[in-house]
Structure 1
């Protein structure tokens, strides 16, 4: 556990995440916020920090224009009122810092519907593909009726899949209060999830229960970091406000391995300040994996091993693996077979200088087809892996943003298949529920036979016609096409 500063601020933590993101590929950064008790204060404070050239405040539910009053409008400090971007409304992604809302709610002047999360995801993915990294977005992804605590209804939260960091916020002014509709939004669900009966006194253990059960982790995308913020820490009994007591509470929260950091905020000397924070050095969230298939015999390439051909100054397999290492897959397996020594030598420079888990495994039965290579890759995955993308080693134009998009759509129970022109393509993402079947594959069918057996689990993800990312170098003319694309 890394605790360089027990009062490191949320803004400082976010700066660190943004700096870390720069090591991979350019992308907007999306922070989604759920919970109650200081959510809007957190939103406007982060927006005001101007961590990137363009800051966008948005919602997938509903929100009023900040500072205009009413139950949906975040209040503004005197300093925030001087920022015109906090009241500049756009119904499309704004060209400069400002608010991005859906349509105006009928019968109101300053209240707007939320942005469709699919629209938000689509725009962020377009920005990624264009290599743009000038934007940070802050999205309110549920409602709390201005109450310090809440539980989620079945349709909540509405978190975009492109979220990089999810903030779960509790208002500690609710601790010690009576469990009823005045203190907790959806108090009946809160009662069901915690076992606390209506009319009883709310305890800190009730908040831990919401986290331990996974109730407040529902809907969080698999690639999102997770931070828990306890607002209104000044409402705790004075002994509980000590560094030692807050540290004990933070450790209790971090027993849930999906959570990466904990912050306690409250009012002190007239301003909203961090009381205590604890941040993991490295996430313990179950990984998403990538299996690079590099065992084939290149039988249609007329004598050449296609993975060892030169493309853009490097071997095809080097280019492919470099892209995978720059992606959001943290657990990576490369399966060798034919020309294994030459493949291992080619990728050797890429085995160091990163924090990814990269393992090379050999499929001795590579002559029998791709099935054995898929099985070898699955058997070498991290035991906690939730889903894995299977990438042919001869796809030189697969990119980190595309890998991310496919992984964002994944779940342990699903199979994600990209399509173009009505055809299924590679790479395919299999959830962990299919690992046992994949681990038993033999012959040349690969994962195709599993697709046929589980059509109901398949999510087809359409891409444009003649999608370059799916280009396989099977034949000499494919290699010529790849050379033309680079020039």
Structure 2
């Protein structure tokens, strides 16, 4: 499909427990009825034909929904250990990738053009690339193949931030007018607020 990059693997982080939302937020329907994580997965798949997600045991419905749209889903105990362990598991499972585009399943309002901009930066040689909106770095974040060892060694709740903020590495920030890159959904009120902001734009 146009704009797809078979060499860069998408990683959809979707193993959280939604404790602040009060229910399984990743299955919560958006305004059009699409479950939140499914919308995020489709957006990532449109850019990365090989997209992977590491899930917890028990996420049966989400596993089925993501598998049906073509996401490579693995159930692994790494999810129970934290986001860093989950990310490392996905990276170790794709050692031949040219890079990785890491997206959060609870950020369904990221624009397609933003995803393509981050991919473009990786294709053009960026070591790490991320969008920024209103002075804040957002998601998704792209990592080049040179980050493999650092990503593969992550564990627990320590995600990719320490790699991104490592002064020895180069971060390419892409300024975008896309509030979706800085708005994750933690509570039901967040979903309503973000949807309203997106609708007004």
TM-score range, shorter chain: 0.7 to 0.9
> Aligned to 2:129, which of 404, 409, 416?
416
For residues 284-325 of structure 1, what are the alpha-carbon distances to aligned partners after superposition, in whole Å with 9 as ceiling and x for unaligned?
A: xx6112100110111221x21110101121111111111122
| Map of 1:337 onto structure 2 | 56
Given the two structures, how large is their TM-score scaled by the length of structure 1? Answer: 0.38
Deviations 1:111-151 (A, max 9, x none): xxxxxxxxxxxxxxxxxxxxxxxxxxxxxxxxxxxxxxxxx
Gap runs ≥5 in structure 2:
none
Q: Check whether the contact 2:40–2:105 (CA below 8 A) recurs between aligned residues.
A: yes
Alignment of 1:74-473 (within 5 A): 287-301=7-21, 303-311=22-30, 312-327=32-47, 329-337=48-56, 339-351=58-70, 358-381=71-94, 383-411=95-123, 414-454=127-167, 456-464=169-177, 467-473=179-185
Shift of 1:451: 1.7
Q: Distance in 2 between matches of 1:395 and 1:339?
A: 22
Question: SS in structure 2 opposite 1:366?
Answer: helix
- Cα deviation for residue 476 of structure 1 reads 2.1
Cα distance in 1 for residues equivalent to 2:148 and 2:93: 11
Give the TM-score, by structure 2 length.
0.86
Distance 1:338 1:462 in 2: 38
* Larger RCO (CA within 8 A; separation ≥ 6): 2
SS of equivalent to 1:292 = strand
Residues 469/450 of structure 1: CA separation in 2 closer, same or farther (3 Å cut):
closer
Corresponding residue SS for 1:326 = helix
Q: 1:471: Cα distance to partner?
A: 2.2
Residue 421 of structure 1 and its aligned partner are, at CA, apart by 2.1
The number of residues matched between the two structures is: 197
RMSD: 2.4
Give the Cα separation in 1 of the matches to 2:80 and 2:199.
Answer: 32
